[in-house]
Amino acid sequence: MKKIGFLSFGHWGKHPSYQTRSAGDTLLQSIDLAVAAEEIGLDGAYFRVHHFADQLGSPFPLLSAIGAKTNKIEIGTGVIDMRYENPLYMAENAGAADLISEGRLQLGISRGSPEQVIDGWRYFGYEPAEGEDGADMGRRKGLEFLDKLKGVGFAQPNPNPMFPNPPGLLRLEPYSEGLRERIWWGAGSNATAIWAAENGMYLQSSTLKEDESDKPFHVQQAEQIRLYKDAWKKAGHQREPRVSVSRSIFALVNEQDHYYFGQESNRHDKVGFIENNKRAIFGRSYAAEPDQLIEDLSKDEAIKEADTLLLTVPNTLGVDYNVHVLSAILEHVAPGLGWR
């Protein structure tokens, strides 16, 4: 068995083919898609977070709304850029969202990738400490966020408070027990995957990573996952590690599928630069009739290594079509690969 979720980039725009013409459309349709995904048996609803773009930028209201309208589906992000975050305020928001969903939050965080705005986190009031760059700051904030999720008191109470205080130092509220163990790190390299394991975070690996060898993307990603699992074991954590990978996979089962994604059938890995002097490899998309998909995906080493697969969805095409896309994978592809 493999957990299968969707990952939405949450786009909107005034394009004639879009069903999401506004931020309101995207938010409301995201809730509807998560509800429908739970109904068809999907395991997770995950959302990208981007700032200064026509995409979802503030995840906790959305995650809370989904948590209130669903019962069992995992709810998460992939990923929150920690360079933009206040770890303490984020811990309060995350605790509230997790309590609303009764412990179903699976938060993906990371140090971030290039954004729409140069050093956009500076507009949010954040500056790296002396000797840090933005990536260092993101990792430091990630560790502070983890620390505050432990629920340990750290703040000196006011001797004359408005309301009575419990004894000792105060922690952030609301506190949600167990959330600290459900934080994932989006790793773009082998080294950061190992670092995530050492710090007790689950691993999210997307459709791109640093190009660290001349091997195909899925092989490099599988090697990253194995390094992560080895580091987790060496760290001596008492719970089992979890790993997710994301993929663009479309089963072509009707004319509409062929119209939208038939041209994706011959895609290959691509190599480029996502940051200055940092070569990255981008994994291919999969689009084919179900039998061919089963054959192609059976060769994907990274999917085999992961316990969770996140299917990227074309959210701009509307809820009904995306439910069809997800249902086609569950019905026509997953059983043939032993995922269901």
Q: What mean pLDDT comes out for the span 212-230?
A: 96
Question: pTM of the prediction?
Answer: 0.95
Angstrom distance (rounded) from CA 280 to CA 35: 35
Model confidence at 156: pLDDT above 90: yes
Angstrom distance (rounded) from CA 340 to CA 333: 9
Sequence-distant (6+) residues with CB within 8 A of 281 are 208, 209, 210, 211, 217, 220, 269, 270, 271
Sequence-distant (6+) residues with CB within 8 A of 324 are none
Sequence-distant (6+) residues with CB within 8 A of 191 are none
pLDDT digits (tens, 9 = 90+) for 273-294: 877 778 899 999 999 999 999 9
Q: Report whether 232 contacts 241 (CB < 8 A).
A: yes
pLDDT digits (tens, 9 = 90+) for 101-138: 999 999 999 998 888 999 999 999 999 999 999 999 99
In sequence order, the β-bridge partners of residue 208 are 282
Angstrom distance (rounded) from CA 75 to CA 42: 11
